[in-house]
Structure 1
């Protein structure tokens, strides 16, 4: 069939042209983004329980939710946090499940569990976790924070406006405090009027909690019935309570202060010292970042110009659009250099017509390879573009091999069409086979699980589609072009035997090929066993360099942002947290001239712009974002410079400096998980382990996720007084709650908003203590019905005791858990990992059967990934072996081909060692990629040896002649791949330098060593066992 394709060039070119046009259209429509979209399938259930202690929240809210969802299929892990007044259950779904069905089933189970919640508990809210990374974020600034709070309604309108833009998923506004409508009754006024708290509750609910009246048929038509009710918040104060002893009407405003109040804000934000709100925009999955970024920014500027009052200003704080444009600019430059490098390398060994073929093959193959990408949910990002750059050096290989062999036929006098058909036919099998090896090499990488798989999946997908396209181009477009070129030469009476000069160094390549075959290979075939054994010993010895290569799973990005996270002692107010962050900011600005911008986030911390944010945030947590002039001081240098000093100066705040990782977040480098039934015992174990780890050299920051104990006032009941007075614990808790958190009533809804109503009684303001003497309850008068009831003050019924209690209870899969995290002070943390693991194992042995202590963290994730990658690598080797066995109909020759993978791996290790480049995720991906790339040369070389043997050559002569013919394309294909990746290796990109170095060094080493070892091994086995293959 391929011969027919070559014979009908016009039809073939028409189809290629159509595919190229489709490729161009695909290129114009593919979404652009910084990195591939990756997010764990995670949902969370958030439930407020005002006034509840961590133990009460755990027992009343968290455990019922966990038990309710326990039977739902498709759940991989359930973690929870029960803190004062709030429960958060995080649910990780199993990979590959139907997300919608699982979430629907979860919602049903949670709704059922919610019916048994305490009356004061809020609604359980099931939400999905945002994909890490936002489209853009803006600061709304004002000199007075109250001016910001007054802009709530305007910001909510902006939110609706921006969310209506196509490809915008949601908008998150941080910095507004929650707003409630408070009814704060005056105890004296209430009791003097002859009323009690239940009278107010009953009056409010009976006024606002009305039933719909329905529709009634009247005079032959359906008429809607409705009852006129209060529709403005201000009208609530006029609710009728009853009549006092003088028969005067008493309204709510007579006995209570009524009005909206701001609760303590979840975030206090300042940008460059000015109070701020953040307005963060999140894109939909698959959105085109530059396009939607421009649209949203234009609309934000329009809204600011039209509606923003004079006292407010807006500044764009972050935009992924700018980052994407910068990255695509750098990668486009690297891509152009790569194309130029490939063409230049081709010109060194081949003639101008070959360079033209390469120039045509590159864009044609790339554009055709883009066509399937939308069907695999792959867009244009750093990873996919790097995949194209890697493919550049490979996709021209087939064209070089086909073109070189066709020209060889022309030099022997073949006619244009016959020479093209014969030349392509001879290498067709080896080209298709080598293409299949690349496909089976990269195909298993598509199935890597988790966020690592989401992150890297674009690379193998792009390589597979592009290499398949290049094979089509090599077997169709290249022969057609050479036929046209040869016919033109014949018409101009140029003899086909007088071939044009083969490149700038064509003669040098010829002399090198002659020297290699006549000198090197003749010596090799004389002592094949000796050379093969020495070669394998030397290459195997190079793997001993692995322990001396630095290990870095994902490097830090080369960005301006450094994030400082603090966690103050439990019980710290958000104002004190903000003051501490301000002190740290001033401390750094006074001493570091390279910090040019700061943003402060007390409370829940930064939006998910530069990572996954603060876990279990609250009033005692916060972030300080530093932007550093990276030309003078990198983010890593900033972290190294200030980590120890900040920990010494502000140790009570547990400061931790981080920057953005070039990949999915993997958490702390070292983590030890403690699990067991008793929280106090877990805290004791955690404190002991923390102290032991801190005593280790270079332990850096060590902290657990429990944190310090929270200051607590425990009211111990005086049982005898309770029994004598007949007063219950429920009445006492209600009275204290009325003075502090308040009692939730109902939600008041209007056409514009919904606001919660709460009631308090002589509410104690922040900073004041509860005076138990002033709180009185009527004693039970069942034995003495006549006369007024005796009033008993709370100081007679309870004794307050100041103590400390746990700030939160954490659970993993139903087990109470504390995790100790270690952030080493040095990058080389191998010894520290071993020491921590030893401490964890020792504690686990002594802990008893009810408690477990396990080490994990980034180390565990890295180990899991390496195991998964090793499994896939073994699968790749088997698949390559099967293809080779089918092609050569031999079980031994495939082993010879596979030896090149061993050689290339040794070269990659050597390159990483010499350059001291981190052995991490991308370096390992490069080594795996080598498996499919380097076997191509062995396949073509052995195929030529096989053809020469069939032609009657002896083993030695077949090896020598094959080496003479194949050395040039072997070196050229290796150098084109190296040339394509060299601009990336020199770019300084922290993510792709390890990948490019591992591939370049592996290819170079393989090209130089393979041409010695493969002929030696083949000759040794052929002579020893008499192989005719």
Structure 2
């Protein structure tokens, strides 16, 4: 290292310019990083959907879902499967392993589908495998009018606008909600069809042939010719169909029809249509949003005056609001750290350190894009924390250079020797910090992806700051020579000088006279503080303090969507009257908001909806709104309807507090047991949500095999014949006016009772949804209560009494939180081992590192005390703050012990003198590093941000408590260690 330093000092100007040049890449990286509110999390799911029109849930389960689940089980990379079998559709969701390649899994699933097509029903559509998108809403607009008819008049304009926005680079897709779907309906006259000796499958085949273009291969084999009817509209093409010589129009009525919309939307009581653009993966929210806004601003002028266009959500506005506050905190932190360095160091040292801090941050950003980290709230907070840590290396090196200059060393020797003396402790403490944050990159699931930016930023900036402290600081300090060495440098140099003498000659000298007593006192204080955990609030992820609260509304039975909308509108009006801080409401009936404002429905349908309450958060916050009103509405309405209030949570989505899963192969027993569990909690006035669904009255028929022998149909033709009664089913889709439109087929005025070869067997109430998890039938019941002990007690009693083969498992937010603490406990153990090994290597001792590791427990105690005193909740980021302290606080102990060891090895002083001398020399840099770390986080602690305040308070209190107590405990422990080792 001496040779490297000598070479750098010889070329100090070139080296300094080189470092500044590298920093330019950091500026470019900062300006080009994608910005988003929270870190982007990968949704590792794949969906497999199969449509088999006109088929009941049991048949779907037996003939489609079971077949596909068995085949898909052999595909590599799948962690678990959940499926839903319902009338007409089989939907299988595959959760992938963390290290699985989504594209490879989709390819593997498609290969399996191809090999199992022969096992699936002939009339079923081909299964479609697609990766689940985690695109979140970027910007959303409402088109509002006095009547729904006025909205229908602008449908084509909205479709064209949707296409223009879809073409914007960075937009993943565009979702329009509120319009009725139109389709072509083919109503067959069954008697005429049979008279012409035609069967439904023949009609379907001919229609498909006409609608789909034919492909002919040329002799060159390098080009295909597609033959279609581009000059005819889809309806005209269908009308040209001829089946066995009989024109389709002679046996069927072909019309354009519309069905009840999947969504009905109202804004301020008026009918509306929504248009939402979703952001593509890895895209910059601000840049893409501005492009969409330009298109919308231009298009709004083309709508009639009776159409009101309103932006109801903008991710750009959220990002800009949050980042303006975070950048202010970052700027204040940087200023505070710089002022802190001037308070205890000479002006020249403070300037050098200030420059080094900025360069460390900029250069530390360069690798960030390659680590799949963007610019989000977590990464900016990481930079703020880093400011308080990265300054430590420069302070230690610069302070020791100043000390060597004060001792009379030449300029070159002061730079070289001053750096070399502290280099081992600086490197060791940096490695310890890196090893502290490195395991956090292994944190699994959404929590791991959410926090990934924090350790990534801290690791890169710490490594860069150490390199710059060891090489750039002496080089720049060498260039800026000629300044007189001050005896008491800094604004408060005299105070630091007096403080170091009081500490070394009084506190430290007295404490090592009775080292065991000093240690025991500190130890008792440390252990006692952990009791305070029971008296400190807990909140894993806090509310985001937004202007929106959503209310999920779920009616217990199926009802027409227009009836549901009327009921929810009345409920929204009631809420607006009873909540004075509600400024306006938006009602989404049917599928819900689809993740607008972080709200989504788990089982949407015609009986569900969501109310968006736009609130004045200055009067009452979103969290206070939920706390004040949710319980009262649930008490008032019970389970008819179920009402759950939600708001945006600053973290990954959370589950219900407790989820009960029941497993049984016998569907009737399973549903009966699920009803028993659900009714028990309803009787306790506890809100629950079940994935069973209300039973549906079903008429069961069977085919008379003796009668079918005399009928001109096969068994398969008879089954497809039955599918056409009632609502029929879709057989294909066409593109018209750049929009997809389905083609349905059904019997017209026929009655199923007219068929001679079937007879009614029974009428039953059947479950409309059959759920599987990993191939086993199951029911999921979500329990929304704070009294989780009662839930677990009941489940234990039920589990012991069940003798019908039903298995009960509990999951949910409580289980997820427990799993997180188990995982973080394992990682913390790994961190402690890694830190210990680094220190053991540094001091070549297995016992001495235990003296330093004790400071970690002091820091944890301080963090708990800080949270208790301020009554700040123990949260996810508070836990991350405690983990962070594990690496941060060892530095001061390492520097202090290293100095004592250096004096001891020299042999010029007694051990007592060495300890006092080390305290005198290291007091100022230890206190300075503590102060700079604290003041960097003060703006965050005072920001009021519910997500980051617990992190800031934990680190501030932990560093303060650990530093002040370790100034006594660490030398005392070292003295005991020395006496035991060298007695």
What's the TM-score, normalizing by structure 1?
0.89
Q: Does the aligned pair in 1 maintain the 2:106–2:130 contact within 8 Å? A: no
> Match for residue 347 of structure 2?
352
- After the TM superposition, which residues 827-906 of structure 1 pair with which residues of structure 2 at under 5 Å, given as runs? 829=786, 832-848=787-803, 850-906=805-861
What is the CA-CA distance between 1:355 and the residue it aligns to? 3.0
Write the distance in 1 (CA, Å) between the matches of 2:606 and 2:538. Answer: 37
Write the distance in 2 (CA, Å) between the matches of 1:337 and 1:759. Answer: 68
1:662 equivalent in alignment to 2:650: yes
What is the CA-CA distance between 1:556 and the residue it aligns to? 1.6
Write the distance in 1 (CA, Å) between the matches of 2:224 and 2:361. Answer: 68
What is the CA-CA distance between 1:38 and the residue it aligns to? 0.2
Give the secondary structure class of the aligned counterpart of 1:135.
Answer: strand
Q: Does the aligned pair in 2 maintain the 1:716–1:800 contact within 8 Å? A: yes
The structure 2 residue matched to 1:73, chosen from 73, 76, 83, is: 76
Q: Does the aligned pair in 2 maintain the 1:981–1:1000 contact within 8 Å? A: yes
Deviations 1:755-778 (A, max 9, x none): 4332333359xxxxxx77xx534x
The structure 1 residue matched to 2:111, chosen from 95, 100, 108, is: 108
> Match for residue 428 of structure 1?
423
> Match for residue 977 of structure 1?
933
What is the CA-CA distance between 1:819 and the residue it aligns to? 1.6
The structure 2 residue matched to 1:371, chosen from 362, 366, 371, is: 366
The structure 2 residue matched to 1:813, chosen from 771, 774, 782, is: 774
> Match for residue 269 of structure 2?
273
1:564 equivalent in alignment to 2:551: yes
Write the distance in 2 (CA, Å) between the matches of 1:943 and 1:1015. Answer: 11
Q: 1:932 to 1:200 in 2, by over 3 A?
A: closer
Q: Does the aligned pair in 2 maintain the 1:612–1:665 contact within 8 Å? A: no
The structure 1 residue matched to 2:950, chosen from 994, 1011, 1020, is: 994
> Match for residue 543 of structure 1?
530
Write the distance in 2 (CA, Å) between the matches of 1:343 and 1:14. Answer: 22
Q: Does the aligned pair in 2 maintain the 1:280–1:607 contact within 8 Å? A: no
What is the CA-CA distance between 1:668 and the residue it aligns to? 0.9
What is the CA-CA distance between 1:847 and the residue it aligns to? 2.3
- After the TM superposition, which residues 32-431 of structure 1 pair with which residues of structure 2 at under 5 Å, given as runs? 32-131=35-134, 133-149=136-152, 151-185=154-188, 190=192, 198=200, 201=203, 205=207, 208=210, 212=214, 214=216, 231-235=232-236, 238-239=239-240, 252-253=248-249, 256-306=252-302, 308=303, 312-431=307-426
1:912 equivalent in alignment to 2:867: yes
What is the CA-CA distance between 1:573 and the residue it aligns to? 1.9
Write the distance in 2 (CA, Å) between the matches of 1:210 and 1:704. Answer: 42
Q: 1:960 to 1:250 in 2, by over 3 A?
A: closer
What is the CA-CA distance between 1:332 and the residue it aligns to? 0.7
What is the CA-CA distance between 1:165 and the residue it aligns to? 2.2
Q: Does the aligned pair in 1 maintain the 2:184–2:742 contact within 8 Å? A: yes
Write the distance in 2 (CA, Å) between the matches of 1:66 and 1:693. Answer: 33
Q: Does the aligned pair in 2 maintain the 1:33–1:289 contact within 8 Å? A: yes
Write the distance in 1 (CA, Å) between the matches of 2:93 and 2:452. Answer: 26
What is the CA-CA distance between 1:215 and the residue it aligns to? 7.5
The structure 1 residue matched to 2:15, chosen from 12, 21, 35, is: 12
Deviations 1:455-496 (A, max 9, x none): 11110010111112212222233223433444244xxxxxx4
> Match for residue 768 of structure 1?
none
- After the TM superposition, which residues 601-1000 of structure 1 pair with which residues of structure 2 at under 5 Å, given as runs? 601-611=588-598, 613-651=600-638, 652-693=640-681, 700-707=686-693, 709-715=694-700, 737-747=723-733, 755-762=741-748, 776-777=754-755, 779=756, 797-798=759-760, 801=763, 804-824=765-785, 829=786, 832-848=787-803, 850-951=805-906, 952-1000=908-956
What is the CA-CA distance between 1:746 and the residue it aligns to? 4.7
Q: Does the aligned pair in 1 maintain the 2:210–2:238 contact within 8 Å? A: no
Deviations 1:503-522 (A, max 9, x none): 23222222121111111112
Write the distance in 2 (CA, Å) between the matches of 1:428 and 1:968. Answer: 18
Q: Which moved more, 1:475-484 or 1:722-731?
A: 722-731
Please, which runs of 5 or more residues in structure 1 have no aligned partner? 244-248, 490-495, 765-770, 781-793
Deviations 1:767-803 (A, max 9, x none): xxxx77xx534x58xxxxxxxxxxxxx9xx43774x5
Give the secondary structure class of the aligned counterpart of 1:487.
Answer: coil
Q: Does the aligned pair in 2 maintain the 1:132–1:609 contact within 8 Å? A: no
Write the distance in 2 (CA, Å) between the matches of 1:944 and 1:439. Answer: 22
Q: 1:119 to 1:519 in 2, by over 3 A?
A: same
Q: 1:514 to 1:724 in 2, by over 3 A?
A: closer
Q: Does the aligned pair in 1 maintain the 2:599–2:648 contact within 8 Å? A: no
Give the secondary structure class of the aligned counterpart of 1:172.
Answer: strand
Write the distance in 1 (CA, Å) between the matches of 2:673 and 2:64. Answer: 27
Q: Does the aligned pair in 2 maintain the 1:203–1:241 contact within 8 Å? A: no
Q: Does the aligned pair in 2 maintain the 1:712–1:805 contact within 8 Å? A: yes
Q: Does the aligned pair in 1 maintain the 2:206–2:243 contact within 8 Å? A: no
Q: 1:108 to 1:730 in 2, by over 3 A?
A: closer
Write the distance in 1 (CA, Å) between the matches of 2:700 and 2:810. Answer: 40
1:1022 equivalent in alignment to 2:969: no
Q: Does the aligned pair in 2 maintain the 1:569–1:710 contact within 8 Å? A: no
Give the secondary structure class of the aligned counterpart of 1:130.
Answer: coil
Write the distance in 1 (CA, Å) between the matches of 2:224 and 2:543. Answer: 68
Write the distance in 2 (CA, Å) between the matches of 1:128 and 1:379. Answer: 23
Write the distance in 2 (CA, Å) between the matches of 1:761 and 1:287. Answer: 49
Give the secondary structure class of the aligned counterpart of 2:942.
Answer: helix
Q: Which moved more, 1:345-354 or 1:952-961?
A: 345-354
Write the distance in 2 (CA, Å) between the matches of 1:211 and 1:596. Answer: 54
What is the CA-CA distance between 1:973 and the residue it aligns to? 0.6
Write the distance in 2 (CA, Å) between the matches of 1:842 and 1:77. Answer: 28
Write the distance in 1 (CA, Å) between the matches of 2:312 and 2:38. Answer: 20
Write the distance in 1 (CA, Å) between the matches of 2:881 and 2:706. Answer: 76
Give the secondary structure class of the aligned counterpart of 1:626.
Answer: strand
Q: 1:202 to 1:343 in 2, by over 3 A?
A: closer
Q: Does the aligned pair in 1 maintain the 2:900–2:918 contact within 8 Å? A: yes
Greater Rg by CA: 1
Q: Which moved more, 1:1014-1023 or 1:508-517?
A: 508-517
Write the distance in 1 (CA, Å) between the matches of 2:109 and 2:511. Answer: 69
Q: Does the aligned pair in 2 maintain the 1:570–1:807 contact within 8 Å? A: no
Q: Which moved more, 1:24-33 or 1:126-135?
A: 126-135
Write the distance in 1 (CA, Å) between the matches of 2:893 and 2:102. Answer: 46
Q: Does the aligned pair in 1 maintain the 2:52–2:89 contact within 8 Å? A: yes
Write the distance in 2 (CA, Å) between the matches of 1:169 and 1:242. Answer: 42
Q: Which moved more, 1:161-170 or 1:585-594?
A: 161-170
Deviations 1:408-438 (A, max 9, x none): 1222222222222221221111111111111
What is the CA-CA distance between 1:168 and the residue it aligns to? 2.2
Write the distance in 1 (CA, Å) between the matches of 2:109 and 2:659. Answer: 30
Write the distance in 2 (CA, Å) between the matches of 1:435 and 1:311. Answer: 65
What is the CA-CA distance between 1:860 and the residue it aligns to? 1.4
Write the distance in 2 (CA, Å) between the matches of 1:224 and 1:101. Answer: 32
Q: 1:988 to 1:215 in 2, by over 3 A?
A: closer
> Match for residue 492 of structure 1?
none
Write the distance in 1 (CA, Å) between the matches of 2:929 and 2:209. Answer: 84
Write the distance in 1 (CA, Å) between the matches of 2:707 and 2:166. Answer: 57
> Match for residue 457 of structure 2?
462
